A and B are shown apart, each in its own frame.
Chain A
Amino acid sequence: MNFGPVMGGPGGPTVFDPYTLPSDDNVNAYTFCVELKGSQWFLQKGKMISYYGRIEFNGIGNGRFDRLLRTSFHSPLHASDWVVAEGQGKMLLADRAFDVNSYDLDDGNLTIRSGNLLAYQPSLALKQSIVPGFLTLIGTGKFVAASNGPVVFMEPPLRVDPQALVGWADCPSPCHHYDHGYMSGVMGGLRSLTGIGGTSGEEHQFEFVGAGTVLLQSSEMLMAEQSVGAVGAGAATGNAQGVPGAGQGPLGQMGVPRMPGQLGDLQRRLGL
């Protein structure tokens, strides 16, 4: 008998070892290899699938990283999702079998959906974008991001579906755009309220203007993410006015963002 075409030629699939694995490059479309030579990388939790060599993973609340955090991590709301990998060796990163790619920033800035960012070099600084759920990277260095389907690069002026948006670089933050014609009038109002008569599901878009690049993915399926910087319900009643994360979202239920060194996951799990 004969089992169909064998992957990777007659010899079967390619076998990798520490020498043949690429350095800071893709192994295949879904897996990325990072080489560490005593250096450090920021890594989102749970994206490491395997590694050769001696690599340590430490939560970023670790006191040793104080100086590193001061220069390259400015997102306390995401502190519990990130770890620092350091040591010698090669590690493989992947995310739910999504497409993975690395990008180089040269004294630039790029904003990306928080769930899509896998890892970045500490020469970049990570900051929270003012758009909820997005993170901004500023500086020079390499980062690794995942997308559901390949990334498509577009130039503004452009309106995009919020769910297909992966990120944007070098252009001003987007604004919301509502399809006015569809929402106006009695019939339009009825339609958007009840869905009777059909809604296209595309009444709400993000609008980009100015010079820059917009990154889109070819799927509208999103990963669960933390809403960052959303002005919560508390703002209306006068409590915690304008304080990011003080209202809704998974963290908002606790009322306070988790800071490094705080009782984090365990606290939430125990319902403290």
Chain B
Amino acid sequence: MLAVDLTGDAVKAKNGSMVAYDGQMAFKKMTGGGEGLRGMVTRRLTGEQMTVMEVQGHGTCFFADRASEINLVNLRGEKLYVESSNLLCTDAGLRTGTTFTGLRGASTGNGLFTTTVEGSGQAAIISDGPAVVLRVSAQYPLSVDPGAYIAHTGNLQQSFQSGVTFRTLIGEGSGEAFQIRFEGEGLVYVQPSERNTIGGDV
């Protein structure tokens, strides 16, 4: 559960994720996630729909979603890439948007687009089990199972890595045939659990 202290300012949160609050709060559904008409159309087209509400007031507000683990990310001007389903709550000052992810999206079954959060402030992302934060640097690229990936920050190039061989075709797959390889400088968040993915069985 996430507790947010508000003193007259606002946060954006997943619709319906409030579980309790004390003090004075106003909840307002933000059509289109507060990204304006263009953002709305983009989200509709890309399938990264996100119903967001704005919470404003004085006091403490508690957020939770299906008992999943909450991880806080501090942003200082960098960009956070996260699946819209994993984003729980952000500072109202952070800009959200959509971006093309390429092949990774197709392999995780989450579509070809992902949500970006940009600016200075905090964001809360949810994961099945506490996320492990892994640093990627030039010498140490990281490979991640698409089902365990939840978010990343920094300047990272993702490439899609496949270990599909003729053995996969005769049913002797390794079960780890698809990975996303991250190269560059940044942080990757992985969860200790795997979503069901298209590539997961191969």
Question: A residues engaging B (CB < 8 A)?
Answer: 1-7, 12-18, 27-28, 30-31, 45-46, 48-53, 55-59, 61-62, 80-81, 83, 92, 94-97, 100, 258, 260-268
Contacts and interface: CB of A to CB of B under 8 A. Distances in A.
B176 A97 contact: no
B78 interface: no
Given A17-B140, A265-B201, A59 B132 contact: no
Interface of B: 2-7, 9-11, 69, 71-74, 89, 91, 122, 124, 128-135, 137, 140-145, 147-148, 163, 167, 169-176, 187-188, 190-194, 200-201
A52 B200 CA distance: 20
Among B141, B142, B170, B176, find the residue whose CB has the most chain A CB atoms closer than 10 A: B176
A13 B131 contact: yes
- Ranked 9 nearest A-B pairs via Cβ: A45-B175, A97-B129, A264-B171, A94-B192, A4-B3, A49-B148, A30-B192, A59-B172, A57-B174
Contacts of A1: 4-7, 9-11, 91
A4 B172 CA distance: 48
A17 B131 contact: no
Contacts of B191: 49, 94, 97
Contact of B129 (A14, A30, A265): A30
A59 B192 contact: no
Given A2-B5, A49-B192, A57-B174, A18 B140 contact: yes
Contact of B170 (A13, A48, A264): A264
Contacts of B89: 3
A64 to B, nearest CB: 11
Contacts of A3: 2-4, 72, 89, 122, 124
